Amino acid sequence: MCTGIRFTGTSGSMYFGRNLDWTQGYGERVVVTPPAAEVPAAFERPGDLDSAHAHTVIGMGIVAGGVPLYFDCGNDAGLAVAGLNFPQSARYAAHACSQPGAVNVAAYEFPFWIARNFSSLDEVRRALSKTTVVAKPVSSDLPVANLHWIVADATGSIVVECLEDGLKVWENDVDVLTNEPDFGWQRTNLRNYLVLTDAEPATATWDKAQLAPFGSGMGMQGIPGDYSGPARFVKAAFVNSHYPAQESEEANVTRLFRTLGSVAVPMGAARMADGSSEITLYTSCFSAETLTYYHATYDEPGIRAYPLSACDVSGSEPFFAPAA
């Protein structure tokens, strides 16, 4: 389970983040990939940017065989991407597409490919029209993960899903993504909750009885409170859309962590079939305003900051950011 959101502050700068919910971590750390990093690609892609033009990337992940495997990341142009669990519906191509002009990307490298090569959502949209996502593992030790992705910049966000009938790009007007079912279903399901309001309900009259509300918050009667993908989608969409726009970096980072905190999973509330519990392992935030990556973990909830400006990106390989 996971939840991702995106919004802008009063200046128009984007803030992007996610909860990563799972039963165990993978040794993930904050990874920085310099533009000159020599990262092996799964397929030949002549259109990929060279080291003189590629973007610097920062985000959470692991490094395997010199390849940064980002769970979520942002780049020096203010573009961000996150992969969220999509175990039942994801259908990647079994083989690379051989048609002229086709661009093949392995699922494991998709976030890094996006962040390294593109500056804006418009560029991503154009590139995806000829892209095939292939079920190729990075190694025999790391199987292919079934994911879908939210990609965002200051102008908005999209959702990218590989479905039975091919790659689908959804325009995401609620700036939220969770897990199953597909984004189209989740977006339609919001119509079941259109009566929700942040306002205090007025006193109602039932014949002779006057029924006054107990207090604020009663306009949200009926919002789901479980930790399923549909429930988290509804709650995150409501909170994200109703949170007032903020001005400062601190206030916007607080907004992101508070919003994602409303759907964070505590231990014991979401057990798997094997008895293990899913929890929110970490929450992250990428600020396109300051190009800073923030994160907090389940056991260490204090927010740590990793400004890209504090990283030496003159090297030729991905590296773990120094501890904040």
The strand pair at 176-177 and 2-8 is best described as: antiparallel
Which residue among the candidates 2, 73, 162, 285 is catalytic per the annotation? 2
The alpha carbon of 243 is separated from its chain's Cα centroid by a whole number of angstroms, namely 19
How far is CA 119 from each of CA 28, 67, 72, 217, 265, rounded to the nearest angstrom? 25, 21, 16, 40, 33
Tell me how far apart the alpha carbons of residues 54 and 48 are, in angstroms, rounded to a whole number: 8
Inter-residue contact 272 to 310 (CB < 8 Å): no
Does residue 229 sit in helix, strand or coil? helix
Q: How far is CA 244 from the centre of its chain?
A: 21
Q: Are 289 and 9 in contact (CB under 8 A)?
A: yes
What DSSP assignment string belongs to 232-279? Answer: HHHHHHHHHHHSPP--SHHHHHHHHHHHHHTTPPPTTSSB-TTS-B-E
Count CA atoms closer than 13 A to 196's CA, side-chain side.
Answer: 18
Q: What does the DSSP 8-state code read for residue 301?
A: -
Active site annotation includes 73: no
* Residues involved in catalysis: 2
